[in-house]
Chain A
Amino acid sequence: MSRNTITHTTVFTLSIAIACSLMVSAAVAWLRPVQERYASIDRDRRVLMAAGLIEAGADASAREVAERFEAIEVRLVDLDTGRYTDAADPREYDYLAAADSETESVEIPRAENTARLGRRAPYMPVYVYRDEGDLERIVLPVYGRGMWSTLKGYLALESDLETVAALSFYEHGETPGIGDFVEQKDWQARWRGKQAYDEQGRPALGIAREPLPADDPARRYKTDAMSGATKTARGVTGLLQYWLGDDGYGPLIERLREEGDAS
């Protein structure tokens, strides 16, 4: 029968391949905007949770998120100067893509590279929550290498820019059952009230390397050691040190403390 000739087989296979790829591309092109809208709602929801404006774990609807998010001001920060910049739309700016780009990214000095990132974006978006004009909380995106994966999260500071309001991670690929404590709410709640900097103004926030006595002064900055997950814990400490340091949000935090947050 003719359907088993080489010509028919080739033409038939090619047509099926083309038809299927058209179908898949059409579906992707049509659904992409919807997916992106969900991704941005998801991000806003995480920022609101970090800022304490919606309860962690609460199932806030898309509309609720949009309403609450109006209280948040998104600014783009030039990490070198710590000043706000209008170089890009802070809502659209993709700092992970910028960090990967050869032309845009900035090399992180070796001594500062505790988050083990290598390069970073020149700017970072920050989320400022104001109550009657005064800075109430600021939410800073943070990320860095853990044991296997890049940990991505948000660090929220209180209005004194010293006290931690919240630390949460929303994406990681650490070992299930060992390093995945970073996503647990109980663990994230431990950070509340810790101090980000020591008396000399150096970034001190992190996870203790070993169990600390109850009266140890380091308890002001450190949460309890995590047994069995040394590398993940070191990664968390490393990324906090980096983002609170001079190459991270250090200049911004210093400037906000001195000048207030008027741009």
Chain B
Amino acid sequence: MSDGRTLVDPIVDNNPITMQILGICSALAVTRTLFPALVMSAAVIAVLAFSNVAVSLLRRQMPHAVRIIIEVTIIASGVIVVDEFLRAYLPDVSRILSVFVGLIITNCIILGRTETFAMGHGPWQSLLDGIGNGLGYSVVLIAVASARELLGAGTLLGYPLITVSEDGGWYLPNELMLLPPSAFFLIAVIVWWIRVVRPAQREHTVMSAPPSKFQEGD
């Protein structure tokens, strides 16, 4: 695959959240307002790029039996460094993101990329793949967070864009948007929309329920 495709492909065509449905947990938790979502996106891009490159450099020496443990160790170290960095320079956002920065370690996107991509590609390709997948994650996070902050509080990045009824405006904020389930609905809408625009992403095999042992009326 060309460098350009490696970078751009995961943003829409093979987006880790909407296509592979990975990394949903943090996408629900940190998208209440836009700024923490931006910081979270940057953190995930940094961790993904770092661990992809590190795993790619080590891939020829990597003992097969312990490779997942090694990958997780590398990811965890990267995450701790990023977490400490946020605590030092963005303490307020770090408090909002709380455990979700640490939980990047268990974000399936990252282990997924190191295991399926970096183990089989060179460092340069792996770097691009890491950044690309990080951007794919960020696009969804930013879209969801923008919608939630705008509809839930009438602001973006804290700046009021819609005058809410409390301040004499016309808009009564939708408080559902401030609660985690709204992120579920928004992600579902995005997944739906992408699959309408790109029918190739639709799943082909529809799983049918296994035949029941008991017939109706038993």
Whether a CB of chain B sits under 8 angstroms from the CB of A42 is: yes
- What is the CA–CA distance of A16 and B68 in the complex, to the nearest angstrom? 13
Within 8 A of A (CB), among B36-70: 58, 60-66, 69-70
Partner among B69, B81, B85, B87 whose Cβ is within 8 Å of the Cβ of A13: B69
Of B72-80, B140-148, B160-168, B183-191, the stretch lying at the interface with chain A is B72-80
Which residue of B is nearest A29, CB measured? B84
Question: Contact between A24 and B69 (Cβ–Cβ < 8 Å)?
Answer: no
Known: A16-B73, A27-B80. Contact between A3 and B87, CB under 8 A?
no
Whether a CB of chain B sits under 8 angstroms from the CB of A20 is: yes
Question: Contact between B70 and A23 (Cβ–Cβ < 8 Å)?
Answer: no
Q: In the complex, what residues of A have CB within 8 A of residue B61's CB? A: 3, 8, 12
Question: Contact between A35 and B70 (Cβ–Cβ < 8 Å)?
Answer: no
Question: Contact between B77 and A4 (Cβ–Cβ < 8 Å)?
Answer: no
A and B contact pairs by CB, cutoff 8 A, 19 listed: A3-B64, A4-B64, A8-B61, A9-B63, A16-B73, A20-B74, A20-B76, A24-B81, A27-B80, A27-B85, A28-B80, A28-B84, A31-B84, A31-B85, A35-B84, A35-B87, A35-B88, A38-B88, A39-B91
B contact residues vs A (CB 8 Å cutoff): 58, 60-66, 69-70, 73-74, 76-77, 80-81, 84-85, 87-89, 91
Q: Report which residue of A12, A16, A23, A35 has the largest number of chain B beta carbons within 10 angstroms of its beta carbon.
A: A16
Interchain nearest-CB distance for B76 vs A (Å): 8
Which residue of B is nearest A9, CB measured? B63
Q: In the complex, what residues of A have CB within 8 A of residue B62's CB? A: 3, 12
